[in-house]
Amino acid sequence: MALTPEPGAASNLPAIVTERRDLVEPIVVPNTLWQSSNPVAYNGGQDSEITHLREFEASGAGRRDDARWAGPLEVIPTKADIVLDLIRANSLWPLLSGLACCAIEMMSAATSKNDMDRWGMFPFRASPRQADVLIVAGTCTTKMAGPLVRLWEQMPEPKWCVAMGDCTCSGGRYKRSYSTIQGIDRIMPVDVYVPGCPPRPEGLIYGMMKLQQLIKDRRGHWPDRAIGPTVPEDL
Amino acid sequence: MTTTRTPFDIPAHASSDDPRVTLDEQLGVFEPIPPYPPRTEREAEFYTLRDGEMFVNMGPQHPSTHGVLRVVLKIDGEKVVDLDPVLGYLHRGVEKLCENADYHQAICYMDPLEYISSLFCEWSPVMAFEKLLDVQVPRRAEYIRVLSGELNRIASHALFMGWFALDLGGLTPILWSFIERDEIVEMLAALTGQRMLFNYFRIGGVNGDLNHEFMSRLGAWMSKATAHIDSNQALLNENEIFVRRARGLGVIDTATALQMCMTGPNLRATGVPFDIRRAHPYSIYPELDFDIPSRTEGDCLARYLLRMDEVRQSLRIIDQCLHQMPDGPVMAKLPRLIRPRPGRAYAAIEGPRGQYATYAISDGTDQPYRMRIHDPSFIHLQSVGLLTPGNLIADTMAIMASLDPIMGGVDK
Amino acid sequence: MDRALRRRLEARFGKVLTGPVRQRHDETEIRIGAGDVPEVLLALHDEPDFRFGLLSDLAGVDTGTSMQTVYHLWSDSSGDWLRVIADGLSRDDPRVPSVTFLWKGAEWMEREAYDMFGITFEGNRDLRRIYMPPDYASFPLRKDFFLADDASRSPAGGVRHMEQTHGPTNAEAGARIRQAPAS
Amino acid sequence: MTVVGRTWDRLTIPGKILAVVIPLGAALTAGLAILIAVVGGAVVQFLADNLPLVRFVVAATIVLLMTIPSAFLIIYMEMKVIALMNLRYGPDRVGPFGSALSVVHGLKVLMKEDFTPTGADVPVFTMAPVVVYMSSVLSLLVLPFAPGLFGQDFNIGLLYFFAMGGLTVVGLLMAGWSSFNKYSLLGGLRSAAQIVSYEIPLTLSVVGVILLAGTMSLNQIVLGQAGSLFDWYLWRQPLAFVVFFIAVTAEANRTPFDLTEADSEIVAGFATEYSGMRFGFFFFAEYVNVFIASGLTVALFLGGWNAPFNWPWPVTVGLDPGGLGIGLLLLLAIGPPLAIVVLGLPFYLLNSRIRFWQALVIGFVLFNVVAVGAVLGLAFLSFDWVVGLLWFMGKTYAFVFTFVWMRGTLPRVRIDQLMGFAWKWLLPAALLNLFVTALAILVLKR
């Protein structure tokens, strides 16, 4: 499907992404299909200034594979990775950080009725240094974006992110709001999206089990991660 | 001799609210001091350190801030000297969104405000819109509203109990209270179709009539509810450590509570039996027989025990609703598109945390011209700054939990 | 509806009122000038006729032509909510005396009104932004602040705060400021 | 492609493994034989001359290795017991009944990114977990597990124990200071205040025991409680037992005294900035401390490895395999198959859906169970250290369960209540106990 920009589109935006390399770079996926009825409302239509991920990519630090997956374990035969991934998949400590409504359902998923502990996902760590998976549960506002990104960057590799709820997946019911982020995949990489407003606890557990499957398929590898919304290759 | 340090001495660095976080290379420190000169008297006073004091930045991600509250604590050792709550990390602009939505859609934005007592967030705007429209709600709908509302109140108080215990270090109460909460929420899901954000109340009634699954779940739960609540409380009420920590902590007297505009259980714990269900009756509450519990101590333990008493009263109300519920329609006859006459309406109800109020202005179009949401969490969180100084760090969490704020309601 | 309250209010504040006392449902509404707010509220709070001890709500309103602050009070001597509207604040520089000397709890509500409307409450010792970050420039609940149809499709993708960068003069043709009804 | 390459390709996987292992084994054996022939005598002589040193090194190594499985066991126990107290299942997917989950957690922590925050004092930051862990491990060295089964029998064993336990606070303080984080600092200072305060009633409460036993060697203290249930020091020192148990809970940083890592107050306390295996060390040290606290309580007050009753019958297993002569060989050859068939036959006869080979498999499994049970039972009857170890571990894990139970039930105390409790109640109680004990000994001995 080839789409051409409409004549009225802003010219300072980058072209439509075509390669996988390009998908890694931008934080804000340029939109050329639609124009706001009031473009000035967004500070003159300027780009986002959240560029830390872009700078991180440019610095090349993310491409060093230090102690993330292989590191000192490179000497072990490749098949050992399967075991390591199994271990990682079965011990996912979420970060104890709820943003809004979904946090209650996240807690409900960990409590007696829907016991996430059964899969080894229970010890909710209060400190990001010890957490493996960031469940972004609830609406992320623009004021919260900075702290949230810092939390993500404070987590040690390997780490994963689960976007829980419509607000974190795409903006949800706050899609017109002046102060919410329209999907957290604009500021940080996301591995699993769990839609729903809020999703049931079973939904979150299903998402976490999907994450386990992804880990077993080696999805957490940093260079393979696409930053930004998941856009089809042919767009 | 005390040395003081003002914000001007600190080299400029990025604000924590700025997404482009850059740590100062040489310092490597992130002080919560704002990088600009103080703009108000209070800010200047707070962000000036005396000898031996330091700031601790609690939040926006902290296990016991009940969401994304950020509290800057000024501590001297373990003692909290002063604190400055920083809000807005969950500000979603609901009031503005409501002004851009029509009357039915506006109710949909209400649910996520106080997400563990959503029905009360819907109730006050619905009542305000009904006042604007001069609609008479069918009696059966009123009974269903009270019934589901009181169930939601019990769920909310159950979570309060769990969180309060969790912030005091207890692990088990929250899991036990979540069992009750899950049962109630599943029951309401059978009634409303959603587990948390019910979106059940409509202008002129409720969305649907009682159904079989709801009634059977409710009956099964009611038969064992009292025993469950008693066993959950036995875990805490007879626990010496818990009682010693909560008693005499964060005492607030009646005059101060009224000055702080407090309502609900937090006000009633100081000795004023002020409950909007009795003080300014609405719905069918005048026809129901229930007590307004109140306590005189005004401390954290009183606030906790008072909520537990309220749970018992709610059970009474549910029982009466089930026995007295009349037959009839559950929705008033209304046009699809609502255009109230220009005017203003104010409606307040008693929720699990206090007074939920909505002030709606209509300009004759199908969208509210202005919709002001008054939320008790927002008001009560304010008094943390009054109650905490002089106590220890651990008490900050206990006091905050005993006031029971929900950040969705605080930040709107 | 409490007719006696209306008579008492008219008798006590007859000179100060800028409009008629209105009553509808269980609400009584009076309008006063911004400068009279402290005296009127102090009288309502203290005098034995009224005893409005509880400030139920404090809100700002942008009527499109002027600003208002609205106080809702509750008294155990009356069955009505009393709404006090301080009317006629200028939209360029809205100023009104603070009521924190009566209700300390009004402080955050005034901060919120300042954050959302830019109303300056004189006497509030902590009047700074409460929801939006300190470097935010606009006042979102003002009527000349327009929302996008869909912020997620805007160029900045909703990652930044939405700011109001234009006054009503340079708004496009379709944009019209809603104005409150005359009532 | 050479001949070797083709041959290699034709080999099956076991063949490839054998082709590597057999030459390697042969070479190693040959090398070892030469080595032993050349320097063996000297090494043996050296070891024989320095037997205490050898014993110490071996014991330290074994104790160090022992901590890891016991920590895993306690972690699993805590997860499962707290889950059951919370009316949920707890881990049940990884391993049988989720028993492998604690190992999986441990291995995962091992493989996380090792992280040092900006501004941290790197050497101190790196050393802190090691200090904490080693102080726990070194305390284990004097703990008597069973008669003849202990690391080292110091005559100042108890003193050494408290000295090593007090070293923990240094590690926690190092962690709190070097992390460059205010929560860590608060946690470290809290732990310093807490452990230093509780060290005093802890030490004073055992002085009564020392007076009674007349020694500070833990082995001798346990021997002094030999006999039945009523010879334990618990009955002669009940107040000391209560004081000691409370103080040791505080020393091990367990609920309700877990203020140093109170996650609802100071995020994770001293461990806030630690990730990866460094955090793992803290995590393990906590559970090793639980084990040590329980073990010490058992050794001091509950008779250590002594059975709670006088062993009522004399145990003599007069088994002489040599007496059977050639019959032993026949028994070994015929006995097991016969036993397998005999054990499996009922399943074949009673259940028509089980085939014969399946019955044989069942018989084989049952035979193994029976054989292992018989050997263990024989060992239990023959060797007193097996009996002692079982009693010691049973009592110790009962106490570990108590610690877990308290964690599931109790809220956390506040720092001022904690300190006030130590100084206002525990210390006077410990002193009172000391004076009363001393007076009683003085009066009774005269």
User: What confidence score (pLDDT) does residue A74 get?
Assistant: 46
CA distance C156 to C163: 11
Task: With respect to residue D176, please indicate whether it lies within any of the assigned structural domains.
Answer: yes
CA distance B227 to B222: 10
Task: With respect to residue D85, please indicate whether it lies within any of the assigned structural domains.
Answer: no
Q: What is the pLDDT of residues D320-345, one digit of tens each?
A: 666 667 777 777 888 888 888 888 88
User: What confidence score (pLDDT) does residue A9 get?
Assistant: 42
Record the tokens describing residue D395, joined without a space.
């009592």
Residues 6+ apart with CB under 8 A from B219: none
Domain ranges of chain B: 7-86, 95-411
What element of type H or E holds D285?
A: helix D276-301
**Domain limits for position D237:** 114-312+385-445
Asked which of B45-54, B192-201, B268-277, B385-394 is least confident by mean pLDDT, the reply is: B45-54
User: Whose CA is closest to A165, among A196, A190, A189, A135?
Assistant: A196
Name residue C8's amino acid.
R
> What total number of domains does chain D contain?
2
> Which residues in chain A are closer than 8 Å to C131, comparing Cβ atoms?
179
Record the tokens describing residue B211, joined without a space.
């159904």
CA distance D60 to D253: 24
Record the tokens describing residue B356, joined without a space.
């939920």
Name residue A77's amino acid.
P
Q: What is the mean pLDDT of residues A229-234?
A: 38
Among D94, D104, D275, whose Cβ lies nearest the Cβ of A129? D275
From chain C residues 89-148, the ones with a CB under 8 A of any chain B CB are: 102-109, 112, 116, 125-135, 140-141, 145, 147
Task: With respect to residue D91, please indicate whether it lies within any of the assigned structural domains.
Answer: no
In this structure, the answer to whether residues D148 and D254 fall within a common structural domain is: yes
Task: With respect to residue C165, please indicate whether it lies within any of the assigned structural domains.
Answer: no
For chain D, what is the mean pLDDT?
85
User: What confidence score (pLDDT) does residue A52 get?
Assistant: 53
DSSP 3-state of C159: coil
Record the tokens describing residue A203, joined without a space.
């939904």
Q: What is the ipTM of this complex?
A: 0.83
Task: With respect to residue D102, please indicate whether it lies within any of the assigned structural domains.
Answer: no
* The pLDDT of residue B382 is above 50: yes
Record the tokens describing residue D441, joined without a space.
């000994």
Contact assessment for residue D315 and residue D248, using Cβ atoms and an 8 Å cutoff: no
Q: Which residue has the tokens 């003069």?
A: C169
In this structure, the answer to whether residues D143 and D193 fall within a common structural domain is: yes
In this structure, the answer to whether residues D363 and D249 fall within a common structural domain is: no
> Which residues in chain B are closer than 8 Å to C62, comparing Cβ atoms?
370
Q: Which residue of D has its CA nearest to A81?
A: D111
* The pLDDT of residue A234 is above 50: no
In this structure, the answer to whether residues D231 and D352 fall within a common structural domain is: no
In this structure, the answer to whether residues D274 and D335 fall within a common structural domain is: no
CA distance D206 to B137: 74
Determine the topology of domain B95-411 in CATH: Cytochrome-c3 Hydrogenase; chain B (1.10.645)
In this structure, the answer to whether residues D252 and D365 fall within a common structural domain is: no
Q: What's the CATH code of the domain at C28? A: 3.30.460.80
For chain C, what is the mean pLDDT?
82
In this structure, the answer to whether residues D271 and D138 fall within a common structural domain is: yes
Beta-bridge partners for C24: C27
Specify burial of residue B207 (Cβ count, 10 A radius: 0-12, 13-18, 19+): middle
Task: With respect to residue D88, please indicate whether it lies within any of the assigned structural domains.
Answer: no
Q: Which residue of B has its CA nearest to C80?
A: B280
Distance (Å) from the C-alpha of residue A66 to the closest C-alpha of chain B? 23
C148 touches chain A (CB under 8 A): yes
Q: What is the pLDDT of residues D124-155, one digit of tens each?
A: 888 999 999 888 888 888 888 888 777 777 78
DSSP 3-state of B5: strand
Residue B346 to residue C57, Cβ atoms within 8 A: yes
> Which residues in chain C are closer than 8 Å to B372, comparing Cβ atoms?
57, 59, 61, 70
DSSP-based helix, strand, coil % in chain D, nearest 5: 75, 0, 25
**Pairing of the two strands C95-97 and A192-194:** unpaired
Task: With respect to residue C123, please indicate whether it lies within any of the assigned structural domains.
Answer: yes
State the DSSP string of B314-383. HHHHHHHHHHHPPPS-SB----SS--PPSEEEEEEEE-SSSEEEEEEEE-SSSSEEEEEEE-HHHHHHHT
Q: What is the pLDDT of residues D177-231, one digit of tens each?
A: 888 888 888 888 888 888 888 888 998 998 888 888 888 888 888 888 887 788 8
In this structure, the answer to whether residues D285 and D329 fall within a common structural domain is: no
* The pLDDT of residue A4 is above 70: no
Task: With respect to residue C151, please indicate whether it lies within any of the assigned structural domains.
Answer: no
* The pLDDT of residue B184 is above 70: yes
Residue B97 to residue A51, Cβ atoms within 8 A: no
Task: With respect to residue C160, please indicate whether it lies within any of the assigned structural domains.
Answer: no
Task: With respect to residue C67, please indicate whether it lies within any of the assigned structural domains.
Answer: yes
CA distance D138 to B40: 57
> What total number of domains does chain C contain?
1
CA distance D153 to D155: 6
Instruction: Return the partners of chain D (3 or more C-beta pairs < 8 Å).
Output: A, B
Residue D91 to residue A118, Cβ atoms within 8 A: yes
User: What confidence score (pLDDT) does residue C153 get?
Assistant: 63
Residue B379 to residue C108, Cβ atoms within 8 A: yes
Q: pLDDT band for B124, please (50, 70, 90 cuts).
A: very high
Task: With respect to residue D352, please indicate whether it lies within any of the assigned structural domains.
Answer: yes
- What is the share, in percent, of chain D residues with pLDDT greater than 90? 11
Dihedral angle of Cα D198, D202, D205, D206, to the nearest 10 degrees: -170
Task: With respect to residue C35, please indicate whether it lies within any of the assigned structural domains.
Answer: yes
Specify burial of residue B297 (Cβ count, 10 A radius: 0-12, 13-18, 19+): middle
Q: What is the pLDDT of residues B201-240, one digit of tens each?
A: 989 889 888 889 999 999 999 888 888 888 888 888 888 8
User: What confidence score (pLDDT) does residue A235 get?
Assistant: 32
Instruction: Return the partners of chain A (3 or more C-beta pairs < 8 Å).
Output: B, C, D
Residues 6+ apart with CB under 8 A from B386: B252, B256, B260, C104
User: What confidence score (pLDDT) does residue B10 get?
Assistant: 39
Q: What is the mean pLDDT of residues D5-17?
A: 78
- Mean pLDDT per block of 10 residues along chain C (183 residues) reads 84 86 88 89 88 89 88 86 89 88 90 90 87 82 78 63 57 62 61
What element of type H or E holds C69?
A: strand C67-74
From chain C residues 58-77, the ones with a CB under 8 A of any chain A CB are: none
Residue B15 to residue C105, Cβ atoms within 8 A: no
User: What confidence score (pLDDT) does residue C112 get?
Assistant: 92
Contact assessment for residue B38 and residue B54, using Cβ atoms and an 8 Å cutoff: no
Where do the domains of chain A lie, and which CATH numbers do they carry?
20-224 (3.40.50.12280)
Residue D412 to residue B176, Cβ atoms within 8 A: no
Q: Which residue of A has its CA nearest to C141?
A: A178
D108 touches chain A (CB under 8 A): yes
C87 touches chain B (CB under 8 A): no
